[in-house]
Structure 1
Amino acid sequence: MIYTWAADVAPLLDPIIYEAYYREVPQWRQEKADRIRFSEDRALSIGAYVLYQKALRESGLSTEMCFNLSHSGHYVLCSIADEKEKRTGCDLEKIGTPGMKVARRFFCSSEWQYIREQESGEEQTEAFYRYWVLKESFMKATRFGMKLPLDSFEIRLKDEGAPVLVRMPEHIRGEFYFHEYPQKEKGFFAAVCSEDPEIDDMLRWMTL
């Protein structure tokens, strides 16, 4: 089973609260945050790892289990597998102006067609961000990340049920499954991709 948590890092914009959480994370994470220029982005980096630490305590899962982190806007996301060999990726993206030129140039033709055929601008925006977080979560789950061209694998959105991976590069082995966590009222979309077909429906909110 894959479990996913989310949190708002707005409290970490307070320098006193940020410093308190900063002391709780490992030195390598502190150093990573120190290299980040803007305070809002440092808060996301520290907040994502604090969320992971709290999720471990809440779930009782081991640090040996596969996990992945993501952040955008002022929200952070953490997915953890309950089996260490199950590769897992997650992605969260703040809703803004959709990158239609990116989708047209780099997505698969079927994916771009799906976006373009949506009746309204709002529906096109939703389709774009659904694809974006699904693609990012798959790239992270495979551990190839941005080395994978966006059109080297194809995802089919469904009106009902989870999206389906219908094509992927030959050098990638395994079966991958998706689950979406649309949070339009909070201004973001999120998705998880894993080799484990059992992905919890619940997005578990945690206060930092």
Structure 2
Amino acid sequence: MRRKRTSGFPTATKRFRSSWTARKGAPDIMVRVYLTEITEISEAEGKGAAYARERQSAAARRLLMLALEKEYPESAGAFRTEQVVKDERGKPYLAGYPDIHISLSHSGRLAACAVGKKPVGVDVELRKMRQNRERVARKLHAAEQEWLAARAEEEQEKAFYDLWVRKESFLKATGEGLRLALDSFCTVGDELWTCGLYSGTAERVRQNSGDSAYFIRQYELAGGRYSLAVCSEETDFVEEPVWLSAEREF
């Protein structure tokens, strides 16, 4: 017998009905974000961090398969988790579908994925005490350090993670990862939702000559324990993430 869910997260059915409109063909919104609660994480207790990460990663892949079936109903059944592979830089992509861009993330009891028509990056983080938070903050862009310093003490943890998911989503969208210096781009400023490089006057500049600008959408999640952001060259993001159930099949 399954135990009653008491996590406080919205149920998949409730969020699915309110956020999804059935349609044929490619999605009308360029970037969609999906979330799932990882119900089997409790089973990983005592089995080590590597086992827990694998459970999280597996849940994220299952979530992606469900999301793709919702996004492309005419291709339902065609997608396989084995098609989720990584390029030479470690950025995941869907083999055989060059026009579908994906991103995966997981932290704590949540897994997230994003689907778009252009490169996309998503990051979700459980807000927790991080011993190296101050050291990481010193590596950020000067404007971001100032933004953090201006937050009240009780807001510091949330502010740090809100900022970090913005940074991480950009690094994932570009495929650069941590090869790109954290102080070489800024995600706060006069154009708050624009993710790109800023000069000392907070003027937006592109990452490299000829490269497109990137844009960020941040979401507030129920419970206040997680930070979530998605980044893409697109500007049309889903209004709210869609919750789905991606429980393991027995």
Which TM-score bucket, shorter chain as reference?
0.7 to 0.9
Amino acid paired to 2:114: S
3-state SS, counterpart of residue 125 of structure 1:
helix
| 1:117 CA drift (Å) | 1.1
Q: CA deviation at 1:48?
A: 0.5
- 1:3 partnered with 2:32: yes
> Aligned match of 2:52 in 40, 65, 76?
40
Residue in 2 that maps onto 1:182:
220
Match among 191, 195, 198 for residue 165 of structure 1: 195
Match of 2:174 in 1: 142
Q: Per the alignment, in what secondary structure is the counterpart of residue 181 of structure 1? A: strand
Bigger Cα displacement from structure 2, 94-103 vs 140-149 = 94-103
Instruction: Map 1:1-208 to 2 at 5 A.
Output: 1-11=30-40, 13-14=42-43, 38-60=50-72, 64=97, 65-81=100-116, 83=117, 86-98=118-130, 99-104=133-138, 106-119=139-152, 121-156=153-188, 163-165=193-195, 167=197, 169-170=207-208, 173-183=211-221, 185=223, 187-208=225-246
Deviating above 4 A after TM superposition, structure 1's stretches of 4 or more consecutive aligned residues are 12-15
How many residues align structurally?
181
Secondary structure of the residue aligned to 2:241 is strand
Which amino acid in 2 is paired with 1:142? T
Q: Distance in 1 between matches of 2:42 and 2:68?
A: 24
The structure with the greater share of residues assigned to helix is 1
Check whether the contact 1:92–1:191 (CA below 8 A) recurs between aligned residues. Answer: yes
TM-score normalized by the length of structure 1: 0.78
Structure 2 unaligned runs (5+)? Answer: 1-29, 76-93, 198-205
Task: Name which of structure 1's ranges 194-203 and 171-180 shifts more when overlaid on structure 2.
Answer: 171-180
Match of 1:43, SS state, is: helix
Flag the structure with larger Rg. 2
**Alignment RMSD:** 2.3
Q: Deviations over 1:46-72 (max 9, x none)?
A: 000000001111222665200100011
For 2:136 and 2:42, the matched residues in 1 are separated by 32
> C-alpha separation between the residues in 2 aligned to 1:140 and 1:95?
20
Query: 1:76 Cα shift?
Result: 0.4
Q: 1:157 to 1:97 in 2, by over 3 A?
A: farther
Paired letter, 1:100:
E
Partner secondary structure for residue 90 of structure 1: strand
CA contact 1:13–1:43 (8 Å) conserved in 2 = no
Contact 2:196/2:214 (CA < 8 Å) preserved in 1?
Answer: no
- 1:147-206 Cα deviation digits (max 9, x unpaired): 111011111157xx9522351533671111110012261511010000111011111111
Answer yes or no: is the 8 Å Cα contact 1:87–1:194 preserved in 2: yes
Cα 1:157/1:129, change in 2 over 3 Å:
farther
Aligned-pair identity in percent equals: 27
